[in-house]
Amino acid sequence: MNDLLLFFGLFFPRISLFFAWHYGEIPPNVVPFWMEVVLTTVFPRLLIIFYAGTNLGWSSGWVIAHIIVWILFGWRTFFGAKEA
């Protein structure tokens, strides 16, 4: 799995997935193409976590880093919480 996809996926998951697809760097997986398109559009970080987990192992540091970033930033923006 490409380290650039994992690193830039922490900050720009949707853009990173687009460039990985464009340059043929999407890791081998069992996800159907239509589901990749939907997950890239709706939950891009979840798709990167799945890619990292299936290719590097679920206890990989990259998986843990992406889950932490998703908890810190993703849930807050997903549920529409506003800062006071």
Domain map of the chain by residue range? 3-78
pLDDT in tens, 4-39: 889 999 899 999 999 998 998 888 888 898 998 898
Please report the pLDDT score of residue 4 as a whole number.
87
CA nearest to 78, candidates 8, 17, 13, 20: 13
In whole angstroms, give the CA distance from residue 56 to residue 1.
Answer: 8
Helix (H, G, I), strand (E, B) or coil at 54: helix
60-80 burial by CB neighbour count: b if 16+ within 10 A, else e?
A: eebbebbbebbeeebeeeeee
